[in-house]
Structure 1
Amino acid sequence: MRRWMGMPIAAALALTACVTINVYFPAAEAREAAKEFVDKVIGEEGQPSMPAPAPEDQDSGGGGMALHFDPLMLLGIGTAHAQGTPDISLKTPAIQAIQARMAARFDGTLRKHFDSGALGFTGNGEVAVRDASKIALPDRVKVNQAVAEQNRDANAVYREIAVANKHPEWESQIREVFAKQWVASAKSGWWYQSGGSWKQK
């Protein structure tokens, strides 16, 4: 009988030893990093960065330091969170090399086609040809190649930022933050995709 009575105590002790580690995606730091990166690629001629979402918006998608109810607290089991907020670092040689290539390509080829309305930013953080008729026929191959290279570099930087910060699972969230920042930093008159359709800023 005593052996059976001791089992609930042992189970409770085992549960107490289970401490979960939650590392939240640092959304505010990611927005700051994205603004720094994007402004260096396209210059600082665009509009100010998009404001941070209201606190209630940060409870979705795993972003931000959302408050939540932990049922294990009723059993006296605490949930351990990583101490401090992870930084989103852009200082690796790989990221800085990609940034330099993207900035040179933007100034050398892409900017004038954003100005003309031929190109626009997509909803997934890439560049797309919106209206090929606005690109002179002799330039179309060069522009299409530049767009493909820009997108390859953009995808590489989203992945590299996540890996460099030791959280490869953050790649999709970093892409989402960057997609919004390209639009936020775009000049008035440039085009971007929203809800599957093109809109002019």
Structure 2
Amino acid sequence: MRRWMGVPVAAVMLTACVTINVYFPAAEAKEAAKEFVEKVIGDEAQQSQPKPQDKPGGQSASLNPQRSDSLALRIDWLSLVGIGTAQAQDQPDINIKTPAIQAIQSRMASRFDSQLRAHFDSGALGFANDGTISVRDASKIPLPERVGVNQAVAEQGRDAKAVYREIAVANNHPEWEQQIRAVFARQWIDSARGGWWVQDAGGGWKQK
């Protein structure tokens, strides 16, 4: 009887280990997406974010005690089923500093500033809900510029899709591509300037 009672415990331990191995670091992905997107869009979004203030004793205000407590509780629970604390703490960061990713980021930033920004300001373009840019109102683009703008939008979309794939591969988890894309799609919308247009989950457009 005791031998069979040990089976569920072993199954729980195995499941916990598997969960750790396939864990998608959503918070880290959001931070990486924010850094990437704000560099593409420009410095204004970054400057608008409040800087963390140091507290007495050298402790940064950006530290989240609740998050720390939550992590401690999770680690303590995992240690009870035999998973080492070091393994639980070793959650992967999202690396966006590879040469390939930075080359794409540089292209996207240059294209956005020189060819796309003015058409976001006019309302012609908007951030779509799939992590790309869409022509929302072609009538707002002067006729002589339409071919060039359409081409820039298509190129920006190809680079966006390429970078989502590249980030997943660079972090040794190609299966994360769709999750990376979903996080970035949300971040483009969150980082949009006031007055720009964004697409909601249902496909409708609204102005920020």
Q: TM-score, normalised by structure 2?
A: 0.74
Post-superposition offset of 1:9: 3.2
Instruction: Kindly provide the amino acid, as one letter, of the partner of residue 28 in structure 2.
Output: E
Corresponding residue of 1:120: 126
* 3-state secondary structure, aligned to 1:45: helix
Say which SS state the counterpart of residue 176 (structure 2) adopts: helix
Instruction: Output the CA distance in 2 between the equivalents of 1:19 and 1:33.
Output: 30
1:199 and 2:198 equivalent?
A: no
1:119-171 per-position Cα deviation (integer Å, ceiling 9, x unaligned): 00001110000000000111111000000000000001111111111111211
Q: 1:14 to 1:45 in 2, by over 3 A?
A: closer
Which shifted more, 115-124 or 8-17?
8-17
Percentage of matched positions with identical amino acids: 65
> 2: distance between equivalents of 1:48 and 1:132?
32
Matched, 1:111 2:117: yes
**How well do the aligned residues superpose, as a CA RMSD in angstroms?**
3.0
Number of residue equivalences = 176
Answer whether contact 1:162 1:174 (CA < 8 A) is retained: yes
More divergent stretch after superposition (122-131 vs 175-184): 175-184
Where does residue 43 of structure 1 map in the other structure? 42
Task: Indicate how the Cα distance of structure 1 residues 13 and 123 shifts in structure 2: closer, same or farther if over 3 A, else same.
Answer: closer
Per the alignment, residue 148 of structure 2 pairs with 142
More helix by share: 2
Query: How far has the Cα of 1:44 moved from its partner?
Result: 2.7
What is the rounded CA distance, in whole Å, between the counterparts of 1:200 and 1:167 in structure 2? 35
- Give the distance between the partners of 1:27 and 1:77, measured in 2 at CA: 24
Counterpart of 1:19 in structure 2 is 14
Identify the structure with bigger relative contact order (alpha carbons < 8 Å, sequence gap 6+): 1
Gaps of 5+ in 1: 50-54, 56-63, 68-72
Q: Does 1:162 align with 2:161?
A: no
Q: d(CA) in 2 for partners of 1:187 and 1:16?
A: 52
Q: Could you say if the C-alpha distance between residues 155 and 12 of structure 1 is closer, same or farther in structure 2, counting changes exceeding 3 Å?
A: same
Q: 1:185 to 1:14 in 2, by over 3 A?
A: closer
Q: Distance in 1 between matches of 2:83 and 2:192?
A: 41
- Kept in 2, the 8 Å contact 1:95–1:160? The answer is yes
Assess, with a 3 A threshold, how the Cα gap between structure 1 residues 14 and 122 changes in structure 2: closer, same or farther.
closer
TM-score by length of 1: 0.76
